Amino acid sequence: MIKQYPYQLWVLAVAESDVDNQGNFLESESQFVLTASCRDEANTGGQTVQLADSSTIKYDTLIQLPKSCPVIEAGASIKVLDGSTLRVEGIVKRFSRDQLHCRLWV
């Protein structure tokens, strides 16, 4: 059986800094959080995508996501896993919520 979204998208949740009673900053560890199921498509044709500032860039991978996926901001670190196998790792260049699904460019 074919699954529409066979992989898992993990997004790096950046921990906020905390301050102790003496005013010293405490380091908090950032960690990857499972965000949605997905599928990835390598950009073998050298296509480009237009960013919010109207510039265009060549992307490496297009990630398809279900409509229920939360918004993922540009600049976020992501990785796509197939079980324990890393398929894609990178920085989000653009996120788009469309009529039937969401898309993310890395």
DSSP helix/strand/coil, 5: coil
Non-local (6+) Cβ contacts of 24 within 8 A are none
The CA distance from 31 to 25, in Å, is 19
Structural domains in the chain (count): 1
Contact 10, 35 (CB under 8 A): yes
Assess if residue 2 is contained within a domain. Answer: no
Non-local (6+) Cβ contacts of 75 within 8 A are 91, 92
pLDDT of residue 63: 97
Assess if residue 1 is contained within a domain. Answer: no
Assess if residue 18 is contained within a domain. Answer: yes
CATH of the domain at 25: 2.40.10
- Structure pTM? 0.83
Assess if residue 20 is contained within a domain. Answer: yes
Q: Which of 38-42, 50-54, 87-91, 98-102 has the lowest mean pLDDT?
A: 50-54
Contact 37, 8 (CB under 8 A): yes
* pLDDT tens per residue, range 13-39: 876 666 667 777 766 778 999 999 999
- Residue 51: give the domain boundaries: 7-105
* pLDDT tens per residue, range 45-71: 889 998 888 899 999 999 999 999 999
